[in-house]
């Protein structure tokens, strides 16, 4: 999955999280689950961004 795809999914999941929190409250299992899903997406993005680039000499 490309970084652009991950960024898109992160933004959509963030929007869903905000809406769920407005409706159900921050402590709701639905909101917590959505937050955890968002964390997974962010971690994937961080992993792909943190990989060292191969340098050829």
- Each residue of 30-43: pLDDT tens digit? 999 999 999 999 99
Predicted local confidence at residue 57, as pLDDT: 56
Using an 8 Å Cβ cutoff, are 31 and 20 in contact?
Answer: yes
Cα–Cα–Cα angle for 32, 34, 36, rounded to 5 degrees: 70
For the chain, domain boundaries: 3-50
Give the rounded percent of residues in the chain with a pLDDT score beyond 90: 81
What burial letters (b/e) apply to 22-32, b meaning 16+ CB within 10 Å?
eeeeeeeeebe
- Each residue of 1-57: pLDDT tens digit? 899 999 999 999 999 999 999 999 999 999 999 999 999 999 999 998 876 656 565
Using an 8 Å Cβ cutoff, are 37 and 14 in contact?
Answer: no
């Amino acid at each position: 999955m490309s970084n652009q795809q991950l960024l898109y999914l992160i933004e959509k999941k963030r929007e869903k999280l905000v809406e769920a929190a407005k409706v159900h409250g921050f402590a709701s299992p639905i909101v917590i689950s959505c937050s955890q899903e968002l964390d997974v997406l962010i971690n994937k993005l961080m992993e792909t961004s943190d990989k060292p680039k191969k340098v050829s000499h």
